[in-house]
């Protein structure tokens, strides 16, 4: 058994799995605890920007993901009714050249599976629902719903928007419902008919108060995905998602362009998700515990950068732990927060405002970011 410091990662979502993979690459002694009984393939799409692809390069799965995903030539923004182009943001070759990696859209399940498979089997414990943690000063004791408990030297909370680790640091508090829901559907790409525009590889249709983002999730362009942002006053927080229907979609997008109507008519199954946020947290770590991703800064997905921020967090945390050493965890956590909080808050704010790439703008501060290359700033004394 290894005598090196034990790092526990709670949650094997996109953020937790990427963090664990990076820490293991650096030679750390890591174990991941995931409440789900096994890996589950969520039917959704996801954007993976060059800022994330550079991290996947380190993990060793960049090429495998690039082979599966769609490589859009551009992000288009279009008018909901006329289809007029409001913005065209070059991606494709431009992204490779200017941001240092590809811009992909992929099936979220394929991406998650590659990340989980990058971990040694013995490093992941499924069916471990963390119910309580105790920072005992010399270590942290984790209690699980199955009655077991395990200890670690430091604990990383990558356990999502309802994080137990966040609760241990800051007390119980429900996330805020953002007043918006998101419909999500993946289905075979429809055949083009009269009146429709050819499908853009990646497009966001905008009206004043709602949108529909559409893109392929495979390189073959045989599966297409849409995700919406629609205002809705009430949502019962006990439901993370609910079934939706074509009728609801027809009603919600009445009068929209024929291309959008065709997507709705060809939908096989559609669900709707609550969009949740939190105000920036007053602290990201205390004692031997630290937060990342949605546990720390959940946001509306309107910039398509939520998972990206979780993965960037994990990469920065791994960098800081390597630089400072696990035994100086307090300094490493402070360095991590100092180098992540501003960027994560900025992305949270733009996602909230839902302005990203609606008109032509330069996204290089976001896509060009390289977490391994930026100069680290020193934490301010508290």
DSSP string for residues in 321-338: HHHH-GGGHHHHHHHHHH
With a CB cutoff of 8 Å and minimum separation 6, the contacts of 228 are 181, 182, 183, 184, 210, 211, 212, 213, 252, 253
Give the H/E segment covering residue 211: strand 211-216
- The CB-of-186 to ligand FAD minimum distance in angstroms stands at 12
**Contact stretch for ligand FAD (CB under 6 A) within 14-22, 94-102, 186-194, 324-332:** 14-22
Per CB under 6 A, 15 contacts ligand FAD: yes
- The CB-of-327 to ligand FAD minimum distance in angstroms stands at 26
- The CB-of-177 to ligand FAD minimum distance in angstroms stands at 12
Give the active site residues: 47, 215
Is the Cβ–Cβ distance between 104 and 48 less than 8 Å? Answer: yes
Of 20, 55, 65, 158, the residue at the interface with ligand FAD (CB under 6 A) is 158
Residues between 258 and 287 that touch ligand FAD (CB under 6 A) = 273
Distance of alpha carbon 173 from alpha carbon 338, whole angstroms = 24
With a CB cutoff of 8 Å and minimum separation 6, the contacts of 43 are 109, 184, 186, 269
**Contact stretch for ligand FAD (CB under 6 A) within 6-14, 59-67, 316-324, 366-374:** 6-14
Of 160, 206, 329, 351, the residue at the interface with ligand FAD (CB under 6 A) is 160
**What single DSSP character describes residue 219?**
T
Residue placing its CB nearer to ligand FAD in the complex, 191 or 333: 333
Per CB under 6 A, 164 contacts ligand FAD: yes
Per CB under 6 A, 184 contacts ligand FAD: yes
* Count of CB atoms situated within 10 Å of the CB of 359: 10
**Quick one: tokens of 348?**
């949270």
Site residue total, ligand FAD (CB under 6 A): 34
Residues between 286 and 325 that touch ligand FAD (CB under 6 A) = 293-295, 301, 304-308, 310
Residue placing its CB nearer to ligand FAD in the complex, 162 or 261: 162
Per CB under 6 A, 345 contacts ligand FAD: no
Of 65, 130, 185, 262, the residue at the interface with ligand FAD (CB under 6 A) is 130
- The CB-of-194 to ligand FAD minimum distance in angstroms stands at 31
Burial 55-78 (b: 16+ CB within 10 A, else e): bbebbebbeebbebbbbbbbbbbb
For 7, the 3-state DSSP assignment is: strand
- The CB-of-382 to ligand FAD minimum distance in angstroms stands at 25
Owner of token pair 């050249």: 97
Residues between 210 and 229 that touch ligand FAD (CB under 6 A) = 227
Per CB under 6 A, 159 contacts ligand FAD: yes
**Contact stretch for ligand FAD (CB under 6 A) within 63-71, 154-162, 257-265, 356-364:** 154-162
Per CB under 6 A, 47 contacts ligand FAD: yes
Burial 124-159 (b: 16+ CB within 10 A, else e): beeebbbeebebeeebbebbbeeeeebebbbbbbbb
Residue placing its CB nearer to ligand FAD in the complex, 84 or 342: 342
Residue ranges of alpha helices (H) inside the chain are 14-25, 50-59, 62-68, 92-99, 108-117, 164-170, 246-252, 258-265, 306-324, 329-338, 341-353, 364-367
Residue placing its CB nearer to ligand FAD in the complex, 147 or 255: 147
Residue ranges in contact with ligand FAD by CB under 6 A: 10-16, 33-36, 46-47, 128-130, 158-160, 164, 182, 184, 227, 273, 293-295, 301, 304-308, 310
């Amino acid at each position: 058994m290894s005598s090196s410091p034990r790092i526990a990662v709670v949650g094997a979502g996109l953020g937790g799995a990427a963090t664990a993979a990076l820490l293991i690459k650096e030679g750390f002694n890591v174990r991941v605890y995931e409440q789900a009984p096994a890996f589950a393939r969520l039917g959704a799409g996801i954007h993976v920007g060059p800022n994330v692809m550079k991290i996947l390069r380190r993990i060793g799965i960049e090429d495998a993901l690039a082979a599966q995903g769609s490589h859009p030539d551009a992000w288009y923004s279009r008018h909901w009714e006329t289809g007029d182009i409001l913005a065209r943001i070059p991606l494709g070759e431009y992204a490779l050249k200017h941001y240092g990696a590809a811009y992909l859209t992929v099936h979220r399940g394929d991406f998650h599976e590659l990340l989980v498979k990058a971990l040694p089997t013995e490093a992941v414990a499924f069916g471990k629902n963390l119910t309580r943690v105790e920072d005992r000063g010399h270590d942290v004791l984790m209690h699980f719903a199955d009655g077991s408990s395990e200890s670690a030297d430091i604990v990383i909370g990558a356990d999502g928007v309802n994080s137990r680790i966040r609760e241990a640091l800051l007390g119980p508090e429900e996330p805020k419902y953002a007043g918006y829901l998101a419909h999500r559907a993946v289905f075979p790409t429809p055949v083009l008919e009269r009146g429709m525009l050819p499908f853009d590889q990646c497009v966001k249709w905008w009206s004043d108060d709602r949108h529909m983002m559409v893109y392929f999730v495979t390189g073959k362009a045989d599966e297409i995905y849409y995700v919406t942002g629609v205002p809705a006053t009430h949502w019962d927080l006990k439901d993370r998602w609910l079934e939706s229907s074509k009728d609801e979609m027809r009603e919600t997008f009445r009068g929209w362009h024929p291309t959008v109507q065709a997507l709705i008519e060809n939908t096989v199954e559609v669900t709707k998700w609550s969009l949740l946020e939190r105000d920036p947290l007053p602290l990201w770590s205390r004692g031997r515990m630290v937060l990342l991703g949605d546990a720390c800064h959940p946001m509306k997905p309107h910039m398509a950068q939520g998972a990206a921020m979780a993965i960037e967090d994990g990469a920065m945390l791994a960098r800081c732990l390597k630089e400072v050493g696990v035994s100086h965890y307090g300094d490493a956590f402070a360095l991590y927060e100092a180098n992540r909080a501003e960027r994560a808050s900025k992305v949270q704010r733009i996602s909230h405002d839902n302005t990203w790439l609606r008109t032509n703008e330069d996204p290089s501060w976001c896509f060009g970011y390289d977490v391994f290359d930026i100069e680290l700033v020193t934490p301010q004394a508290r």
